[in-house]
Each structure stands twice: as structure tokens, then as C-alpha cells.
């Protein structure tokens, strides 16, 4: 059985939705951040940097959101093309495009001071905003052009992952540097608007009080 160490509305969100979609028996362990669990030796043995999430699996502990997602899809043969599927190469390219580009730039938008200190926070934020516009436009254009089966209106690893990221990007005030509503990216929005109605997305969104349209109208 899996044990997912989570905290509401953090990167554990996508793991919770994927575990629910796959209908996998698991234990969701709420992290007591106020008690310093993230800095404890026990948690650092699971996640060396003390970040969220971490997951205990039959093959040992795991960290890094993208790694855990890919592990679950491959092990349970759903939500992503199999290793020998013709679509695997394209899927992997865009999956890591998301985890290596969109996700890190999102963190720069929300925590610009972490990149170069408080004095450079505004410059980091401005640069990250320009980068995010390019990244999301590039992804949206790919969806329009190629319409890959691994990111359609069906439940998918990529759908849940991008859904979580767009949940954060669309859930801040319009004057925030990180504000990127899904409606600005039509192909992405169309897919997420369907995916967010899935039983898994709705169940976890309700548990974490994220609203009934968690990907396209966050917190409403």
C-alpha cells in the first residue's frame, strides 16, 4: 500500500488526484508543519530537502512530484502512454517540459526572493512572468496543433499535473505577477474544464476546499 505525506493545496494535490483516479488503496498522512515535521529526521529520510510531498511505496520511499507521478502511471498502466507505446516519446518530452520548465518558473513567480534574494525579487518576478507566457503559449499551441491522446479530455497524468499548476496560476489576484487564467490558453482550458469534473478531481478538491472548478475557476 502507498502512504502519501501531504498538506492541502501543495504539490501533493496532483498525487492525491492521481491516486484517487487509479483507485489505489493508500493512506494519506497529513503533515503537521507547525510541529516541525518537515525538519524531522524521519521525514528527511523520505524527502531529503524537507519539501512536500513524499510517498512511501512497495519499492521504497520516493520524492519529486514528477517521479512519483510517472512511477504510478507506469506501475498501474494507466493515465500515460506505456513505455513501448508510439506516443511515449512525445509524452515524455512534454511531461518533462512541464516539470523542468513550467513548474520551476511558477515557483519563481510565487517565491521570487528564493532565486536571488529580496533585493532582486522584482526582477526575478518580471523575468519569470515573461518566461511563463512563452511556456504556456508553447504548450497550448502544441495541444492545438497535435491534439495528443495523452492530454485529451480524458483523465491523464498530464491533465492532472497541468490542472494543479493552472489552479495556482489562476487562483491569485489579477494584479499578481503569477496570474495566468486558463481562459488565456484555449486548448488547455477546454481540456481542463472537462477533466476538473472527474470524480477524482471533484473528490479531492472538495476535501481540500478548492471549489467545484479547481483548474479553471480556482476557489470559486
**CA distances in angstroms from 19 to 34, 68, 79, 85, listed in the order given:** 26, 11, 11, 22
The Cβ of residue 92 has, within 10 Å, a number of other Cβ atoms equal to 15
Rounded Cα distance between 42 and 46, Å, is 7
Helices (H) and strands (E) in the chain, counts: 10, 4
Question: For cell 495556482, what's the residue?
Answer: 168
218 lies in some domain: no
Q: Kindly report, residue by residue over 87-117, the tens digit of the pLDDT.
A: 999 999 999 999 999 999 999 999 999 999 9
Q: Kindly report, residue by residue over 20-72, the tens digit of the pLDDT.
A: 999 999 999 999 999 999 999 999 999 999 999 999 999 999 999 999 999 99
| Through-space distance between the first and last CA atoms of the chain, rounded to whole angstroms | 34
**CA distances in angstroms from 71 to 2, 107, 210, listed in the order given:** 12, 23, 26
pLDDT value, residue 146: 97
Burial 162-182 (b: 16+ CB within 10 A, else e): bbbbbbbbbbbeeeebbebbb
Rounded Cα distance between 24 and 56, Å, is 13
Q: Kindly report, residue by residue over 173-217, the tens digit of the pLDDT.
A: 999 999 999 999 999 999 999 999 999 999 999 999 999 999 999
- For residue 118, the SS3 value is helix
Residues 114 and 198 in one domain: yes
83 lies in some domain: no
Which of 26, 41, 76 delimits the end of a domain? 76
Q: Please report, for the domain that includes residue 143, its CATH number.
A: 1.20.1050
Which of 44, 76, 108 delimits the end of a domain? 76
pLDDT value, residue 148: 98
Quote the strand ranges of the chain, DSSP E.
Answer: 2-6, 26-30, 54-57, 60-62
pLDDT value, residue 173: 96
Residues 95 and 72 in one domain: no
Residues 179 and 97 in one domain: yes
- Structural domain span for residue 191: 88-207
Rounded Cα distance between 58 and 1, Å, is 7
pLDDT value, residue 220: 82
The percent of residues above 70 in pLDDT, for the chain, comes to 100
Amino acid at each position: 500500500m502507498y502512504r502519501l505525506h501531504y498538506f492541502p493545496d501543495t504539490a501533493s494535490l496532483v498525487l492525491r488526484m492521481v491516486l484517487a483516479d487509479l483507485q489505489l488503496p493508500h493512506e494519506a498522512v497529513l503533515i503537521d508543519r507547525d510541529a516541525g515535521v518537515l525538519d524531522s529526521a524521519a521525514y528527511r529520510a523520505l524527502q531529503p530537502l524537507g519539501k512536500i510531498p513524499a510517498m512511501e511505496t512497495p519499492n521504497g520511499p520516493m520524492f519529486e512530484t514528477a517521479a512519483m507521478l510517472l512511477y504510478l502511471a507506469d506501475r498501474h498502466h494507466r493515465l500515460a502512454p506505456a513505455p513501448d507505446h508510439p506516443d511515449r516519446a512525445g509524452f515524455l518530452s512534454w511531461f518533462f517540459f512541464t516539470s523542468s520548465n513550467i513548474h520551476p518558473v511558477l515557483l519563481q513567480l510565487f517565491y521570487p526572493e528564493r532565486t536571488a534574494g529580496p533585493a532582486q525579487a522584482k526582477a526575478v518576478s518580471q523575468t519569470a512572468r515573461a518566461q511563463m507566457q512563452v511556456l504556456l503559449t508553447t504548450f497550448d499551441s502544441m495541444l492545438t496543433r497535435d491534439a495528443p491522446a495523452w492530454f485529451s479530455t480524458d483523465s491523464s497524468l498530464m491533465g492532472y499535473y497541468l490542472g494543479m499548476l493552472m489552479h495556482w496560476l489562476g487562483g491569485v489576484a489579477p494584479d499578481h505577477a503569477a496570474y495566468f487564467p486558463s481562459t488565456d490558453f484555449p486548448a488547455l482550458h477546454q481540456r481542463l474544464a472537462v477533466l476538473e469534473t472527474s470524480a477524482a478531481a471533484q473528490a479531492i478538491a472538495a476535501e481540500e476546499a478548492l471549489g467545484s472548478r479547481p483548474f479553471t475557476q480556482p476557489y470559486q
